[in-house]
Amino acid sequence: MSAAARVLAQAKINLLLRVLAQETSGYHSIETVLLRIDLADEVRVRITNGRSLDCAGPALPTTGLGPTEKNLAYRAAVAYTEAAGWPDGFAIELDKRIPVGGGLGGGSADAGAVLRALDALSPKPLGSALLEVAGPLGADVPFMTMDAPLALGWSRGERLLPLHPLAPRPVVLLTPDFGISTAQAYGWVASDRGSYAPTPAVFDPARLATWEALPRIATNDFGVVVARRHPIIAELVDSLRAHGAAIAMLSGSGSTVFGIFDGVPDAAAVERSTGHSAVATRTSDRVVRVELDR
């Protein structure tokens, strides 16, 4: 029987996301606070002779996830084999529960889960070097690979400072029936700003790790530019606030909007008032461990 590992690839929300200057490479520097939530894809990795990727689940688009070789989870496995010289083959199974194109980092979570699973199975784990494999795969992949539920990130998101975990809080997610391309969202920011580029802020990491402080710094530079093109985003944010959310905003470049509540919210009431399916989950104070099946 081939060695296998299973792990829940937790989604993330951005409690802070500031888009800074555009680099000569075309990428923008950012400042962000990333927080894992309990909503997760289920990822299973087996060591085999060939290479394969199978996707299913309630959040899988009817058109699928595109070419296998471009899928982040598959690319993560290939990157691991090139870095570690092992394994020769792998089989990845994804059960998609995180909305695709919603700004919740589902693809990055899957990639990070694959890296963690392979390292748990490896006869010679990469350990801390795993983040070096994660970096080139995408801005959110290093966070999704590290063992921290909450972190301050800057540069392109690959420079990370783990923060003290916060006690779990209820979350309601609202996802419109359209996704938003991250590249397009960055283009909207650049178009709306022209030559203006905000300066980096100075954050006290200790203050970022308390629920009392976070509403004062919670902001997302994509929120205004996305809502200008899709007014439903602002309407959903307002509705979550009206239902008592202490923090309500766009996650990533969207299109998912989240609300964090002090107490258990009435998700059904939110759903009725917005006409959008409401997903109830929680913020996470831990990263789910890899389970081995040898």
Chain centroid offset of residue 65 CA: 17
Residues with a known catalytic role: 12, 140
The tokens describing 22, both together, are 């555009």
Strand segments (E) across 105-195? 150-155, 159-162, 170-174
Q: How far apart are CA 21 and CA 29, in angstroms?
A: 6
Instruction: Characterise 257 by phi-psi region: left (phi > 0), alpha (psi -120 to 50), beta (else).
Output: beta
Q: Which of 134, 35, 19 is nearest to 76 (CA)?
A: 134
Label residue 62 exposed, middle or buried (CB < 10 Å: 0-12, 13-18, 19+). exposed
Q: How far apart are CA 103 and CA 4, in angstroms?
A: 29
Q: How far apart are CA 243 and CA 135, in angstroms?
A: 38
Structure-derived torsion over alpha carbons of residues 112, 211, 171, 183, reported in degrees to the nearest 10: -50
Percentages (nearest 5) of helix, strand, coil residues in the chain:
35, 30, 40
Q: Which of 166, 164, 168, 167 is nearest to 206 (CA)?
A: 164
Q: What is the DSSP letter of 194?
A: T
Residue 8 β-bridge partners? 42
